Amino acid sequence: MSELSFPFDRQMPEVAATMEVAPGVLWLRMPLPFALNHVNLWLIKDGDGWCAIDTGLTWDPIKEAWEKLLQQHPLSRVLVTHYHPDHIGLSGWLEQKTGAGLWTTQGEYTGALCFAEEAGSYCVDAMLEMFRYHGLERKRLDALKIRANVYRQGFPIIPAAYRRLFDNQIVKIGEHDWRVIIGYGHAMEHISLYSESLKVLISGDMLLPSISTNIPVIAANPRGNPLQYFLDSIQRYRELPEDTLVLPSHGRPFRGINARVDQLEAHHATRCNVLLAAAQSPKTACELLPALFDRDVTDTHQSMFAMSETIAHLNYLEDQGRLKRIEEEGIARFVAA
């Protein structure tokens, strides 16, 4: 199979409705108040109840959708792929309503706690200092400061405890075994789930069919190399059968894992070459934003993602020896080596 195919064509569930995509596996499509305007959630039949894979953002339209869904789909547990609010945000609220406990990795649970409580360098001020070091101008820094801790707004009720999941662990959900596949780069210990009997991969944000996953550098690990972690992680999906049905967190279910991994590798290779071409003279990450992104990323929400991902590509190229970092007066600039 050399390209992606979409078995459900343009079919997709309405808000607060479900659509079966595999035996005992239901697709939920929840709205988001962002440019990325939806998140896919999944329900897996689990005995007399249902295991929810991800929860959606803490936002009234999603709560209202869950109120309707729960009338026909009582939850047995909630398994969260990663700590971002559109995935973990309503886990505490759902636990309070249904008693369904949270299952996730230690990295995702503790990462969520750190960002929600702004522990150490998991805080807005540390992020702003990292962006200042990489050349972001005062106006956008001030806008991010005013915006404050939006993470906690999206995840206000934090479960007091969780069930820890490990890489390659087999989790029995209803009649089927699901293997945990942990990936890195997009989040701390992102979970994907693979059922061999169903030939289904719930990929979370690690494999999306039409957009590239955001790959951020965070202030707690400013010299980290999440792009390398991500590119290494997605190689594991090549081990799965090519006709595996991939259920992504955004976009439509698809088949064609190898084709999508090839596309993602080519995408990031192209972006790195664009950065190298633009950095023939020393430039900050902020100055390189227009080279890396062909859309407007000047608004507050987009500039946060764009800066963190640009820094990720610069760290990647620096680690490879293809870029050199120059620090002058507390500002970092990068030039092709």
- pLDDT tens for 54-102 read 999 999 999 999 999 999 999 999 999 999 999 999 999 999 999 999 9
pLDDT, residue 1, reads 44
- pLDDT tens for 148-182 read 999 999 999 999 999 999 999 999 999 999 999 99
Reported as a pLDDT band with limits 50, 70 and 90, residue 9 is confident
The alpha helices in the chain, defined as continuous H runs, are 60-69, 85-88, 91-98, 106-117, 124-133, 138-147, 150-154, 226-233, 257-278, 285-292, 300-319
CA dihedral sign, ordered 284, 285, 289, 292: positive
Contact call for residues 336 and 284 (beta carbons, < 8 A): no
pLDDT tops 70 at residue 2: no
CA distances from 267 to 54, 214, 263, 264, 270 (A): 27, 13, 6, 5, 5
Query: Nearest CA to 230 among 267, 270, 183, 180?
Result: 183
Residue with the two structure tokens 């987009």 = 302
| Nearest-5° Cα angle at 90, 221 to 189 | 30
pLDDT, residue 298, reads 78
| Nearest-5° Cα angle at 96, 93 to 101 | 90
**Dist CA 36 CA 34 (whole Å):** 5
- Average pLDDT on 197-202 reads 98
CA distances from 124 to 155, 190, 245 (A): 16, 23, 38
- pLDDT tens for 294-312 read 888 878 888 899 999 999 9
**Dist CA 233 CA 38 (whole Å):** 25
Query: Nearest CA to 226 among 149, 289, 297, 309?
Result: 309
HSE at residue 26, side-chain half, CA atoms within 13 A, is 20
pLDDT tops 90 at residue 108: yes
